[in-house]
């Protein structure tokens, strides 16, 4: 028995041991709620490289019409040696939709500039939108100076802020669809062949649960990656910045998250919570049920008894009562810390 106990204990410690990373800064969060599962220098300001394009894509989706035709400017068609691009030519026309695919999948800087100019009239005005949106999302340690990620002293973010931005972006179904696309073909005006876009995120091939999101690399930023992966409706988002082993670091983080944490359902929608007696009305008993499903992210070794329930009912209950009328609230707590809760609603009409 002692041997079995020690063996289980060994497995448990192995599962919950935090990964050793080469990245200078990193974070792992649960996608929906943002619970931090791992952190390393998460508020250190770093160059985000092409991870910047997540914010560019957000604004393209929210401010633009994807069916618009965009005319490539001289600025968008100007490239530096080694720059990631789809080789747009001045005057070339392309839909905003195809530019969006190009900047997210191929990480094309020229596509990012063309899209930015189309949305705001100039790169400079678009950058203002980027910084405003960052603040709106709570990314207060972020400042952008371009839409593609070229290094600049005033172009920086943190692992924490980038996780906020990525989580927000993934809520958009079209964004989520694009960033998990391995290959896309878009037109190439004036050529007998088309542009073939191959996603630079190698995790889409190397990690079977991967479903996003964006790579980045410059001399100053090093290798960077925001990755997402989903298992059994449990989605994680990792950020690694200035990593020597960007793919291995990201996989280590995601594996740690899936092995150590789980999505725990505390109550289901319409689950009965309490039955109360009424002084008047028919019937005299009222069943209160949960208005929604409520889940929390918890370590797999956490005890169910650590989660406490607290019911607060409405002080005045007037008859009649309509079905689904809010009658109170069910709160969940862990060692005094509020985890959130759900409304309690009437299961039936009371006349």
Residues with Cβ within 8 Å of residue 16, at least 6 apart in sequence? 259, 260, 299, 300, 301
Per-residue pLDDT at 285: 87
- DSSP, res 189: T
Which residues are catalytic, by number?
50, 53, 107
Query: 133-175: per-residue pLDDT in tens?
Result: 999 999 999 999 999 999 999 999 999 999 999 999 999 999 9
Query: 310-329: per-residue pLDDT in tens?
Result: 999 988 888 889 999 999 99
Residues 6-13 have a mean pLDDT of: 42
Q: Which residue has the higher pLDDT, 284 or 229?
A: 229
Per-residue pLDDT at 3: 39
Domain boundaries, the chain: 2-263, 268-346
Whose CA is closest to 323, among 284, 277, 291? 291
Indicate if the pLDDT at residue 52 is higher than 60.
Answer: yes
Can you give the pTM of this predicted structure?
0.88
E strand or H helix at 343: strand 337-346
- DSSP, res 52: G
What are 151's two structure tokens?
Answer: 């290094």
pLDDT band, residue 2 (cuts 50/70/90): very low
Indicate if the pLDDT at residue 305 is higher than 70.
Answer: no
Residue 310 contacts residue 331 (beta carbons within 8 Å) = yes
Indicate if the pLDDT at residue 76 is higher than 70.
Answer: yes
Adjacent-strand bridge partners of 95? 69
- What does each C-alpha distance from 215 to 106, 283, 304 come to in angstroms? 10, 61, 38
Average pLDDT, the chain: 92
Indicate if the pLDDT at residue 306 is higher than 80.
Answer: no
Which stretches of the chain are DSSP H helices?
Answer: 2-16, 53-63, 74-77, 96-101, 109-120, 123-136, 159-170, 173-179, 203-206, 246-260
Chain Cα centroid distance, residue 236:
8
**Architecture of the domain made up of 268-346:** Sandwich (2.60)
Of the CATH numbers 3.40.50.300, 3.40.710.10, 3.10.20.30, 3.10.100.10, which one belongs to the domain with range 2-263? Answer: 3.40.710.10
Residues with Cβ within 8 Å of residue 70, at least 6 apart in sequence? 93, 94, 95, 96, 99, 114, 115, 117, 118
Residues 104-110 have a mean pLDDT of: 97
């Amino acid at each position: 028995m002692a041997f079995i106990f020690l063996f289980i204990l060994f497995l448990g410690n192995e599962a919950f041991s935090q990964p050793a990373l080469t990245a200078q800064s990193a974070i792992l969060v649960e996608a929906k709620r943002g619970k931090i599962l791992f952190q390393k220098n998460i508020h250190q300001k770093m160059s985000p490289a092409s991870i910047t394009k997540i914010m560019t894509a957000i604004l393209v989706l929210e401010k633009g019409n994807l069916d618009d035709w965009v005319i490539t400017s001289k600025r968008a068609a100007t490239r530096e040696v080694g720059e990631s691009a789809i080789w747009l030519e001045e005057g070339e026309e392309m839909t905003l939709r195809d530019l969006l695919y190009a900047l997210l999948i191929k990480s094309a800087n020229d596509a990012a500039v063309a899209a930015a100019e189309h949305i705001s009239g100039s790169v400079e005005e678009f950058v203002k939108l980027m910084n405003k949106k960052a603040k709106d999302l709570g990314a207060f340690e972020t400042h952008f100076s371009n839409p593609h990620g070229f290094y600049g002293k005033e172009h920086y973010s943190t692992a924490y802020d980038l996780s906020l931005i990525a989580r927000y972006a993934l809520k958009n179904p079209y964004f989520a669809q694009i960033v998990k696309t391995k290959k896309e073909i878009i037109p190439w005006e004036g050529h007998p062949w088309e542009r073939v876009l191959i996603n630079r995120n190698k995790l889409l091939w190397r990690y079977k649960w991967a479903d996003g999101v964006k790579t980045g690399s410059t001399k100053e930023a090093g290798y960077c990656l925001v990755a997402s992966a989903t298992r059994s409706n449990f989605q994680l988002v990792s950020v690694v910045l200035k990593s020597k082993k960007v793919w291995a670091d990201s996989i280590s983080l995601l594996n740690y998250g899936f092995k150590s944490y789980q999505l725990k359902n505390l109550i289901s929608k319409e689950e009965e919570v309490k039955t109360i007696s009424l002084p008047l009305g028919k019937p005299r008993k009222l069943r209160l049920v949960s208005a929604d499903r409520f889940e929390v992210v918890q370590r797999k070794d956490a005890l169910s008894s650590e989660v406490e329930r607290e019911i607060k009912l409405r002080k005045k209950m007037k008859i009649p009562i309509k079905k689904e009328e809010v009658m109170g609230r069910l709160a969940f707590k862990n060692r005094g810390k509020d985890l959130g809760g759900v409304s309690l609603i009437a299961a039936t009409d009371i006349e």
